A = this chain, B = another copy of it.
Amino acid sequence: MEIEVVRIGQRLVRDDRVTTHVALVSRAFGAKKIFMTEINPEIKDTLRKINETWGGNFSVEFIEKWKPIIKKKKEENFKIIHLSMYGEKINDAQEKIRKEKKLLVVVGAEKVPREIYEMADYNIGIGSQPHSEISALAILLDRIQEGQQFEKEFPDAKRKIIPTKVGKNVQVKETRD
């Protein structure tokens, strides 16, 4: 399954950390790319450093407007999943979504334009209580990949964690050239 994410909104500086966490979750949970509007350029640098240390080639792309990317991805046969606390229950929708091949997940900040609900192939609620776009995205990606995203290797990592019951075990591979 090919997964990309688009983060819409974030008008406030105080949302910087939240947007960074949305990008980190996208990467750690197997998405290839995140598209972002109106963000602090430092995020791109943060993610580049994370790739360098922990592997993989997750990418961040800045966009001016959200609508053209959604239209383009629809033309490329991506299904659009919009996360919203008002949406259909993930417990009911997950089996159908697992069968999709290409997904673009839309993660909004507090208010999103009404139009997104109409453009989406799925409007999905991760529970119907307020929590966080970070947790909503994580649960969606975990459910549709059935936890298999955590078994994947991130290639060319300098540091790799060996899971352990107590303490920390990190394999360090520094290459010299």
A84 to B147, CA, bound (A): 17
On whether A125 and B163 interact (CB within 8 A), knowing A131-B138, A142-B139, the answer reads yes
When distances are taken between beta carbons in the complex, the residues of chain B under 8 Å from A147 are 90-91, 143
Tell me whether B127 and A149 are in contact (CB under 8 A): yes
Whether a CB of chain B sits under 8 angstroms from the CB of A28 is yes
A163 near B29 with CB under 8 A, answer no
The interface residues of chain B lying within 8 Å CB-to-CB of A161 are: 85-86, 125, 128
Please determine whether A86 and B168 come into contact, CB atoms closer than 8 angstroms: yes
Cα distance, A92 to B149, chains bound together (Å): 14
Number of interface residues of A (CB under 8 A): 57
**Cβ–Cβ < 8 Å partners of A28 in chain B:** 127, 129-131, 135
Which chain B residues lie closer than 8 Å to A68 at the CB level? none
Tell me if A62 counts as interface (CB < 8 A to partner B): no
Interface residues of A in 73-114 (CB under 8 A from B): 84-92, 114
Contact B154 A25 (CB under 8 A): no
Q: Does A167 contact B (CB under 8 A)?
A: yes
Closest Cβ–Cβ distance, residue A42 to chain B (whole Å): 12
Q: Pick the residue among B85, B89, B135, B151 that contacts A137 (CB under 8 A).
A: B135
Task: State which of B87, B114, B118, B135 has its C-beta within 8 Å of the C-beta of A134.
Answer: B135
CB A150 to nearest CB in B, in angstroms, measures 4
